[in-house]
Amino acid sequence: MKSYTKTLTFHTPTRVAFINITPEVEKAVAESGVREGLCLVNAMHITASVFINDDEPGLHRDFARWLEELAPHDVKRWEHNRTGEDNGDAHAKRQIMGREVVVAITNGQLHFGPWEQIFYGEFDGQRPKRVLIKIIGD
């Protein structure tokens, strides 16, 4: 069995962003040489997310609005912020959108359903953050 690890780094200019990272993950799968296996992709920061959905800009705006309604960036609202932080909402947004995804690899390709793409979700940006790609298989 083969194992391959790659790290991506993102530094978004905005506090909240959604980035399609499918091409970078597909490149890692090709580099790994794995034909049949699994690909784990996870955010290495507790205020960021990795998730699968459609690459449609209106949907991404809907996500941002929905997340802000559920977990508003209101510094006084969050007990976490009493420690001097201002990102309590970003922790909640990450919890909602998830930490990681696992995608099957079949014939050397990510095995997606219709319209599926992998996204990095940033909820406390403007600084470098990492995403781990771990691929295992034959």
What does the pLDDT look like over 20-55, one tens digit per residue?
999 999 999 999 999 999 999 999 999 999 999 999
Entry pTM: 0.96
Type of residue found at 4: Y
- CATH number of the domain to which 11 belongs: 2.60.120.460
Give the chain's count of helices (H) and strands (E).
3, 8
In the sheet with 17-20, reading across from the earlier edge strand, the strands are 17-20, 117-122, 48-53
> What is the per-residue pLDDT across 51-70, written as a single tens digit (0 to 9) for each?
999 999 999 999 999 999 99
- Residue 41 domain boundaries: 2-137
3-class DSSP assignment, residue 120: strand
Instruction: Work out how many domains the chain is built from and give that number.
Output: 1
